Amino acid sequence: MHPHQVPDWALARSAAMNRFPPLAASRAAVIVVDMQAAFVGETAAFPNPNTLDIVPNINRLCQAARTAGAAICWSRHTVVGDGPGRQPDWQRFEGSLSSFSAPHLRAGAPGHALYAGLDAAAHDLVFDKYRFSCFVNAAIDLDGWLRTRGVEDIFVVGTISNCCCESTARDAAMRDYRVRFLSDATAALTDEEHAAALLSAAAIVGEVITTDMVIAQFAASHASLSEGV
């Protein structure tokens, strides 16, 4: 698993900027970014072996969040040949994720599906997206979906840390959600890229936090609700 590489000055800045209130799980959502069969594991079409390392943490987080009453949202990066989701020709070079000649990310392809080892429940939200961010050019209006449920706190996990996860976290922050970026439930292709994403998230976007810390927050929220606090 990637090391947790965030300098003290960035953590201090994050703590000063992000004075979040205690978590209310019913107003929270976990966004699991692009944990699809095409990306997860050494034998995937677009291999990133680091994604396998974060599957247990994502599952633990989703179980705790679901128990506490939070929403779980799973994105699937999707390539289409036409329509508003189609990327411009200059982005569709041979071998790119956007190339329609690569079938792995077309809807219905085996690689497009969520990785089989993930704990996705029937009532979770699963949606396709056509750009890096879950908030831009997706098959649903994610921002609208979250707001109708009163969501205020976003937890970002998945892959790739410095691309789709970081883009989603930034766009969530710019829509006034309180953002937590999970250091041990996100994965990049290299330790250096992961460290860069964590630094950017802590210094600018939100709070960098571990899975165990988040699970403790959900447990405390659930206990407070059960006790009528």
Q: What is the pLDDT of residues 153-211, one digit of tens each?
A: 999 999 999 999 999 999 999 999 999 999 999 999 999 999 999 999 999 999 999 99
In this structure, is the dihedral angle defined by the CA atoms of residues 150, 66, 61 and 218, taken in order, positive or negative?
Answer: positive
For the record, the structure tokens of 1 come out as: 């698993």
What pLDDT, in 10s, does the model give residues 40-62?
987 788 888 899 999 999 999 99
Count of CB atoms situated within 10 Å of the CB of 7: 13
Give strand ranges (E) for the chain: 28-33, 71-77, 125-129, 153-159, 178-187, 207-209
Question: pLDDT class for 4, splitting at 50, 70, 90?
Answer: confident
Q: What is the pTM of this model?
A: 0.93
> What is residue 22's DSSP assignment?
P
Residue 101 has pLDDT above 60, yes or no: no
How is domain 8-226 classified at the CATH fold level? Rossmann fold (3.40.50)
**pLDDT of 100 strictly over 60:** no
- Is residue 225's pLDDT more than 90? no
**Range in 34-43, 76-85, 99-108 with the lowest mean pLDDT:** 99-108
Residue 24: helix, strand or coil by DSSP? Answer: coil
pLDDT at 153: 98
What residues does each domain of the chain span? 8-226
60 within 8 A of 32, measured Cβ to Cβ = no
